[in-house]
């Protein structure tokens, strides 16, 4: 564990376990929605399911990186920075995919948890990684904030996906 993150072990154990559990529950939700066979439904599920899974997976990866027994902060910071940069790149593809979906009209308020919050979380990872290497006192809090934002985004996405499946199932 990076020296600056040693007081955060309970936070990362808890968030890592929560994200792993939520990934399992997400698979249950997907199984319940397995009857969605139209091409629109499959495209919609991919546009909303995969990013939700990525958010939960990010929390799990961040927790593992924070808890890893590295001797210096560099490996942890490198992992965090790569996650933040790749997360921003992935987010652009997610936004493009969601804009193409014709049967889901997202309001401007929906774009906050689907675009704005993940962008903020990824930016926080990059800033937190730089702060970790520079041994700045804000770094652990910023990294924990990014982890929490990813967890919240995942829960929001899973909730929307579950409601979509339930409403879609009642229309079949």
Residues 29-45, mean pLDDT to the nearest whole number: 67
Number of domains, the chain? 1
Range of the domain at 52: 3-171
User: How many other CB atoms are there within 10 angstroms of residue 141's CB atom?
Assistant: 13
Tokens of 21: 């559990």
pLDDT tens-digit readout, 63-96: 999 999 998 999 999 999 999 999 999 999 988 8
Asked if 112 contacts 76 with a C-beta cutoff of 8 angstroms, the reply is no
In angstroms, how far is CA 99 from the centroid of its own chain?
19
Provide, rounded to the nearest whole percent, the portion of the chain with pLDDT above 70.
85
pLDDT of residue 96: 86
The answer to whether the beta carbons of residues 59 and 20 sit under 8 Å apart is no
Beta strands in the chain (DSSP E): none
DSSP labels, 50-66 = HHHHHHHHHHHHHHHHH
Note the pLDDT of residue 48: 79
Q: What CA–CA distances, in Å, run from 103 to 44, 114, 139, 172?
A: 8, 17, 41, 16
CA distances from 125 to 91, 97, 108 (A): 14, 24, 25
């Amino acid at each position: 564990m990076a020296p600056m993150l040693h007081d955060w072990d309970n936070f990362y154990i808890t968030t890592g376990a929560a994200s792993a559990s939520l990934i399992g529950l997400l698979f249950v939700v997907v199984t319940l929605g397995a009857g969605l066979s139209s091409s629109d439904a499959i495209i919609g599920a991919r546009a909303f399911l995969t990013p939700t899974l990525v958010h939960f997976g990010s929390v799990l990866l961040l927790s593992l990186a924070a808890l890893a027994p590295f001797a210096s902060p560099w490996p942890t910071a490198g992992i965090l920075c790569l996650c933040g940069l790749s997360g921003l790149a992935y987010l652009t593809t997610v936004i493009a995919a969601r804009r193409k979906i014709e049967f889901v009209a997202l309001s401007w308020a929906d774009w906050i948890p689907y675009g704005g919050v993940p962008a903020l979380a990824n930016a926080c990872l990059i800033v937190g990684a730089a702060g970790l290497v520079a041994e700045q006192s804000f770094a652990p809090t910023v990294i924990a904030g990014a982890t929490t934002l990813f967890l919240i985004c995942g829960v929001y996405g899973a909730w929307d996906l579950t409601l979509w499946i339930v409403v879609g199932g009642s229309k079949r």
